[in-house]
Structure 1
Amino acid sequence: MRDRFLTGLIGYPIAHSAAPAMHEQAAAALGVHCHYQLIEVKGAGRDDLRAMLDGVRRLGFAGVNVTFPYKEAVIDLIDDLAPDARAIGAVNTIVVDGARLVGHNTDATGFARAIEPLLAASPRGPIALIGAGGVGKAIAFALAGFGVGELRIFDADAAKAAQLAGQLQDRHAVHAASVEIAVEAAAGLVNATPVGMLPSRETPVPDALLHSSMWVADAAYTPLWTPLLTTAKARGANVLTGRDLAINASADAFKLFTGLTPPHDAMANAFDAVMAARYAPPAT
């Protein structure tokens, strides 16, 4: 049985990532060793990405995660796609299978498990999805899998929102022309953009659109309490931070990389420790 694993993350910016702690501590709890390498490259073009992935293939990696802004760009640079990743059109996990690189999407499975209790406890109604990039695509497919009545998708790049709505048109997804149209009378709202993730302190949705009869989720976790979630909670909305999505998606990736089921508590404790250390109040 293999007991040492080299894994990592490709993206930018990723210095804030809690993934190294989650993967390495989950491995330690299982009695194996994992080194999780951050591969932070700004503005990588196609040739840069190809070179990085070739390195992943040749240097003994079990696999790598991929995050913003490369989840879609790597699609045609790898050898094969799992059915879910092929349908979604975005990859956040690449597994090395011999000499082949196979793409998966654990954002979708991770978000589905994170959002299910909130959906089950909330009134049904339209859901607004803000952001149609890599993580937005995964979240859209996850929500569609629950049979939501209407999924309204808005992105600053209207073509991206329209394309994603087209992918899901048989599952009641529509392109919203504005944030206001997407959110009007919505039962729930998900932010799948980097807006509100540090160093940004902006919000993707005007405060006036948030109210107590809706739920609000954010895919970002740096910080856990984004400006959007802080305002939504203050207005009485049920909220979901990016914590469970991050932990669940990492757990699913870990299993793909290693073939081992990670202890949820080890991953959750590692994530919480990173957050506590990063956002602890200054010593007095």
Structure 2
Amino acid sequence: MAGAGMKDIKRRIKSVESTMQITKAMELVSSSKLRRAKEKVEKSRPYFNILQETIQKILDNTKSLKSAYTQEREVKHSLYIVIAGDRGLAGGYNANIIKASLAEMEGKNPKIIPIGRKASEYFGKRGYDVAEDYLNVAESLDFIDAALITSLADELYRKGQVDEVYVCYTEFVSALTQTPKIMKLLPLQLQANPADIISSLEFEPSPEEVFDKIIPRYLEGIVYSTIVDAFASEQGARRTAMESASDNASDMIDSLSLLYNRARQASITQEITEIVGGAEAIK
């Protein structure tokens, strides 16, 4: 009876050890991907900052800028670009961003552009109006992917099919902390700063045309950076989840090993007792 119990415990220990090997491997992979994602964020920032400075200069040096990108409308339809992961096993990463997105959409008539398999599955299965989904783009993201996503949002906005555009993503704070964020993309909410006006600054052919040409590039930069930020957050969350799972597996192995040793000692004690009892019976 004790032997059968020991076999079960030993089989369980081997099973947990196999699981721990997988979680350790996933933790290492996530750490590597996280490092590359952080490098991508750092490389994209100078481009994004220059675009933002140029837009601000146009606003600061134009008295009455008229653009479809800044005009407030009556909101009838809203577009949400929701960035989640393509895989699970990342703690509460996917659930948290979807929960934050749903809270922002409440009471509105939303159209969705899901990025990532988890977002696509969630909104697709629940009958939401999905404009187009993008799967498996975050890990190998380049500016062409960001341009395709942005051009769809831009087209829907300029045609009047949506009246405002938001991006829902997870901000990477650290490997241990990731925060769901909702950012309004359109209409733009930039404010002019009169103190920075440069009277000699001119834009050709006109400030409006330069502004309308730059804004799509600016939006591409935002979409690109938010996807990269979200991917870094996903890897950080997965790394933390796999590290926790590995620690739990190690604790479980220690507990099972102690249980196995106790069962083994009990088995040995029983065998000794049986031998001594048999010897006494022979006498």
TM interval, short-chain normalised: under 0.3
Q: Report the TM-score, using the length of structure 2 for normalisation.
A: 0.28
Greater relative contact order (Cα < 8 A, sep 6+): 2
Structure whose alpha-carbon radius of gyration is higher: 2
Q: Report the TM-score, using the length of structure 1 for normalisation.
A: 0.28
